[in-house]
Amino acid sequence: MGQLNMINTNEDLQKLVQYAYSDVKYYHDLFDSLNISPDEINSIEKLQLIPVLKKEYIQKDVSNFVGKTYQRYPKNSDIELRRTSGSTGRYLKIYWHRKENIKSLLSLWKARNRWHSISPEMKFCSFFTVNYQGNKIAEARQKEINYSGRNLAFCKVGLSTEKLAEYYNDILNFEPDWLNLQPSMAALLSHFIKENNMSVPKSLKYIELTGELLLDSDRNLIEDVFHIRPINMYGTNETNGIAIECNHGNLHILEDNVIVEVLKNGMPVMDEEGDIFVTCLNNYAMPFIRYETGDKGVYHSYSCPCGRNTGIITVNSGRSSDVIHLSNNVNISSYVLVSIIEYTNEYMSGAISQFQFIQRGIDDFKAVFALKPAFINWKEAICEAFLSNIKDPRLKSIHWEFKFVDRIYPDENTGKLKYFVNKMNRLEEK
């Protein structure tokens, strides 16, 4: 982080903390109980005096986290209510003031414009699961036009091959400048276009992916089909944009909007994996200070060839819900399953176009595969190849059930397509 950015960030942080103490019950009580003065928190280093914030703390009583100034909701029409996807079984209510939300998004828009020549007046297509009118869930519609005609948005609920074909034609006719969507949706579109030998919109010049882990195989597929290198954006509903890729493939932190910490055993680390915590500098309606994202990643010490001096992070798989639980209290990262798929595809000429793993019990797994058309009759060989590429003896001894489908569509509740679903975790968390 450059010296000027550091000074500005420290000032923004101090302002946020002072407000949180004076106006938010949770932080007022927390600071008093720890005998911390908000004046002490005058730098990123001093931020570590504040305990981390977990999602479950907020879920106990969300009103303790909303500033008194903003407690007029729902009478205050300037307050927006969002909800997290609830991918772990429980969603989270999030409050934003409209003006603060716009200010927060400016950091992302500046990066889009300066780095990728994308501006707000350009047309784009996106996908949604749930839409809101004001603060209420709107009646489900297949598609709608937003932002004064600049955005054509499609509903992912009940997605089918027929709907995908319809959406594809709509995208062609709309002639968007860019796409904003999840990697799984971009991969679905790419498979559809490639399998049907269809063209891509000539107007398209930028693809931004967000909301899910971006696998190298999906990135390569999307680039191969659209002839555009997709850009990864990392963000949350709680904080808006956290980081966005430059053309060199590095995720740069949006330091006008957030402070990012990577902690291991509660201590900040560089160049090694830890848990990602974020402080949003722009949300005063509901301050998120040292908030646990649930993601794992690395905060890098190196500089980017692009010349920008903002912090660089890598976001890895590794949410608590993405951990494989085996017998004898053994836990391993589900990302090992992705590696098995990659080896299998290398051996089987990329036969598996989509995949999802479901853990149903300690030693009980289901593998769901969608195959490229040329490999429909190779199911048995693909299962054998997959099993032969399992090198970890702990995964060799478990029960595997294989299921083959035409397509794997995003979850209708979350709008995301997770490559690993731990039903054991979901049962525990409800």
> pLDDT (tens digit, 9 = 90+) per residue, 330-352?
777 777 888 899 889 888 988 99
Domain 1-316 classified CATH 3.40.50.12780?
yes
Q: Please, what is the average pLDDT of the chain?
A: 87
Buried b (16+ CB within 10 A) or exposed e, 36-52: bebeebeebebbbebee
Least confident stretch, 78-87, 360-369, 421-430: 421-430
Diameter of the chain measured on Cα atoms = 68
Q: What is the mean predicted confidence (pLDDT) over 412-421?
A: 76
> pLDDT (tens digit, 9 = 90+) per residue, 224-280?
999 999 999 999 989 999 999 999 999 999 999 999 999 999 999 999 999 999 999
Q: Which residue has better confidence, 291 or 6?
A: 291
Domain positions in the chain are 1-316, 321-429
Amino acid at 324: I
Right CATH for 321-429 from 3.40.50.300, 1.10.10.2120, 3.30.300.30, 3.30.450.40:
3.30.300.30
Q: What is the mean predicted confidence (pLDDT) over 373-382?
A: 93
pLDDT of residue 87: 46
Euclidean distance between CA atoms 207 and 214, whole angstroms: 13
Euclidean distance between CA atoms 325 and 215, whole angstroms: 22
pLDDT of residue 93: 86
The residue to which tokens 């479950």 are assigned: 56
> pLDDT (tens digit, 9 = 90+) per residue, 280-294?
999 999 999 999 998
Helix (H) or strand (E) holding 264, with range, is strand 258-264
Q: What is the mean predicted confidence (pLDDT) over 199-214?
A: 92
78 band by pLDDT with thresholds 50, 70 and 90: confident
Amino acid at 413: N
Contacts 24+ apart (CB under 8 A), 134-139: 134/77, 135/73, 135/74, 135/79, 135/80, 135/81
109 band by pLDDT with thresholds 50, 70 and 90: very high
Contact 279, 291 (CB under 8 A): yes
Q: Which residue has better confidence, 420 or 321?
A: 420
pLDDT of residue 301: 94
